[in-house]
Amino acid sequence: MPHAAVPSRQGVARLNKFSIWFPPVFYLLLAAVFLYRTTFVGDVFLPAGLLGYIAPYQTAIHAHSLPPWNPLRWDGIAQFYPWRLFAARTVRSGLLPLWNPYQFCGAPFVANSQSAVFYPPNLLFDPLPTTIAFNLNALLHLTLCGWFTYLFLKQLRCSTLSSLLGGCVYAYSAWQVQWLQLPTFLATSCWFPLVLRQLYRLLRTHSAPGTSLTSAGASIGLMLLAGHLQIAFYGLLAASLWSLALLIRTANERKALGRSIALSAGAFLLGGLLCAVQLLPTLELSRLSHRATQATTAGYQEYVGYALQPYELTTLFLPNLTGNDYDPQNHYWGFYLQSAANALVAVRHNAAETALYVGILPLLLAALAVYRALQRQSLNYRALFFVLLAVLALLMALGTPLDALFYFGIPGFGASGSPARILVLWALAIACLAAFGLDYLLESPPNKRALLALFAVLLAGFGLCLFLVSQALSVPLPGFDLLHVPTFSQALSRIPYDWVRLGAGFILAAVLFWQAHRRSKSVSFTLAVSCLAITIADLFWTGIPINPVARPAWVYPRTPGIRYLQAHLGHERIFPINRFWSLDHPPPAVLPPNGAMVYQLRDVQGYDSLFPGQLKAYADQFARPNRFGVSDASPPEVGNMVFFQNPNAPLLPTTSARYAVALPTDNPAFANVTLPPSTPPLSLSSNDLTLYLLSSALPRARFLSDNPKLLNPPVTYLQDLPTRVVLRVTALTSGLLILADENYPGWEATVDKQPVPILTPPASQGSLFRAVRLAPGNHIVAFQFQPSSFNIGLYLSLTGLLILCWESSKNLFRSRKTM
């Protein structure tokens, strides 16, 4: 060979660097194209257009058309945007956002796991504008999702192109895309493949055990810190089953088995240490929260009722069969069945809860992997694991008795969301099987008989799914009219593009499979690239329209009414009068829960997956009967939302709400929603909302003298920060200093720098709040939030970080020593 043809050492190094950096750059470019509206056009990756349905934003958001109402996607703008903005503002001020003073009359913030304050990628939100940080957050996690899957599949000795394919399938599966605007879902699930990879390296390779253990523990810790504990639980479930499978492979070697058990336990323990700063406050709140209930048979039936419905399996082939939120000719009509008055009623489902689609070609490749994995002569234990994982995920998503093992066996599991969210493991399993299937196709393609059998089985499955749809739609049920459920023929006729996609997918797959059967080695690369390109085109065609974007000006605009409140409210609260919510259409609401956080206005209401149960009991005293005749502060559709519905309730003065906020009086829903206070509305030049001055409201900080004949002296704020409130008062007699902020474990009080106990005020003053007893004289009273759960968690997490740093320094020393 000529000398010039021999690669130099420098050239080999350059090629290796290229091969290392090509996958993340590839996935970054894919994410940029998928998010092209936010990457290149200047929109923001937030469903802010949904605010246009709600007062007071209706007067500020003008658009030709707003995105269809979606109650789950609403959380992206109504929960995650206010939370990320509040956390960033607090960190910039030099404080940790342990407490949120703006919702629920004050509530723990870090203890809400979805705040994800200590998740490292969320540091993006601290220096950057929040809207830009949301754009970058989605871009980053889509990239990581694909890249980590690629790394895992390469570790399992898949080819480069097969690994790239698997990463694309997992990152752009319907499950990931449907949940993309709720950032904790992807931020948690993107770590699954890396966790599995690091556990494999720990238990099956001969790499340094210390390094492998710390890297596995770090990936588990990051998955748990990302914020969504239900999804993280599924990640831990997959990791535990994967570890068990790897341990079984070494069961015949006692010494190796004992070592592997110790290493895997160490990795999970280290992951738990790293996330303790987040996990311990969350566990404390969950024990005291509105969800702290016992698992019951009735609760289980309600839980599995929201599962994936058998007819929805058809979306494996036709992703828009049950409609969507972007095509006006094919609105979403998916439903599940609920018992009411001894009859079944159709209730709106949500496409995100039933997201099955992984692409036509990946499904065929996964089927090929299943076929090969079950052959005795070529039994592949890794493929078999993912076959079983996919089956487990699908069975649990369908609400089979398997769910009962978790619902009744794991404390708190019953308070999680839909059982169909385990479809995240379905997406991961199919992504891995598709990669295995592509390698099988290129290395030893099936014969004609196997190919025909494979396609016949899939077509038979598709026919069965269509039969299930026809049965589900054959008899109209109560609720069909409200949801505009089509007939079977109408449902099939509304999705012409899905039929084109399905037909093209099967035809292209048949051509590629046949070419692989007849191929020479020279066309293997072309076949693999073709499979990758077809998969990307299919998933992008399906996924890009799903998530609406918005103009930056639509993100919580400041209306005249908002400006008035900001100028006049001071340290007190607002009392928005809301009563109804809806899963089917935009609800009649004004300044809905969490929106006040954006404007730094203190609010009585709130919306969170975890909040103290005592707040719910307090808010129920302001409730009006709902459509079922039950007085409940939470609307029937959303148990995590708390409204204060009656501004004339006896306890109104205790809320310290200076203004009631209502719908504009010309809104058709005003009379049905708003129970006006006894005072007349303020005359404002704006028509975005209606304001009432609540003259009976007590000050948020007030002194209650033991001598009722004396006037209570005013209380002065020296500091009013999220985790620290300092007050000055001159008391002529002894009495109680009351701060109408929710009391919660971790709040401590000092009077003139001396610790004092926090007392419960009389019921007439709001027993939910904090009080300290004062003697006559001048006093400075400080309330400081220092929860022991956070402090203990911080020490544990620092211990985990020290272990990581120690192991990293050892590795650095070893590498320098060998140079």
Total count of residues recorded for the chain: 819
pLDDT (0 to 100) of residue 104: 94
| CB-based contacts of 324-328 (< 8 A; 24+ apart in sequence) | 324/351, 324/545, 324/546, 325/67, 325/68, 325/70, 325/73, 325/351, 325/546, 325/548, 326/67, 326/68, 326/545, 326/546, 326/548, 327/545
- Compute the distance between CA of residue 223 and CA of residue 233 in angstroms, rounded to an integer: 10
pLDDT over 60 (residue 818): no
pLDDT over 70 (residue 18): no
Mean pLDDT of the 177-201 span: 95
pLDDT over 50 (residue 1): no
pLDDT over 50 (residue 235): yes
pLDDT (0 to 100) of residue 808: 72
5 — pLDDT class (breaks 50, 70, 90): very low
pLDDT (0 to 100) of residue 17: 54
Report the percent of the chain where pLDDT is more than 70.
94
pLDDT in tens, 87-111: 999 999 999 999 999 999 999 999 9
702 — pLDDT class (breaks 50, 70, 90): very high
487: phi then psi, degrees, rounded to nearest 5 = -75, 170
- Per 3-state DSSP, what percentage of the chain is helix, strand, and coil (rounded to 5)? 55, 10, 35
pLDDT over 80 (residue 387): yes
pLDDT (0 to 100) of residue 639: 87
Mean pLDDT of the residues in the chain: 89
Reported as half-sphere exposure (CB side, CA atoms, 13 A), residue 598 has a value of: 20
pLDDT over 50 (residue 635): yes
Chain region(s) in the chain for CATH 2.60.40: 701-786
CB burial readout 648-661, b (16+ within 10 A) else e: ebebbbbbbbbbbb
207 — pLDDT class (breaks 50, 70, 90): low
pLDDT over 60 (residue 479): yes
pLDDT over 50 (residue 3): no
455: phi then psi, degrees, rounded to nearest 5 = -65, -35
* Residue among 73, 55, 143, 575 nearest 326 (CA): 73
pLDDT top residue among 797 and 813: 797
Q: What amino acid is encoded at 430 in this protein?
A: I
Which of 33-42, 354-363, 380-389 is the least confident region?
A: 380-389
pLDDT (0 to 100) of residue 618: 94
343 — pLDDT class (breaks 50, 70, 90): confident
pLDDT (0 to 100) of residue 2: 39
Helix (H, G, I), strand (E, B) or coil at 100: strand
Mean pLDDT of the 66-80 span: 93
CATH number of 701-786: 2.60.40
Are 689 and 55 in contact by the 8 Å Cβ rule? The answer is yes
- Compute the distance between CA of residue 438 and CA of residue 433 in angstroms, rounded to an integer: 9
pLDDT over 60 (residue 373): yes
Mean pLDDT of the 399-425 span: 87
627 — pLDDT class (breaks 50, 70, 90): confident
pLDDT (0 to 100) of residue 243: 93
pLDDT (0 to 100) of residue 367: 92
pLDDT over 80 (residue 132): yes
pLDDT over 80 (residue 776): yes
pLDDT (0 to 100) of residue 524: 77
Mean pLDDT of the 301-316 span: 92
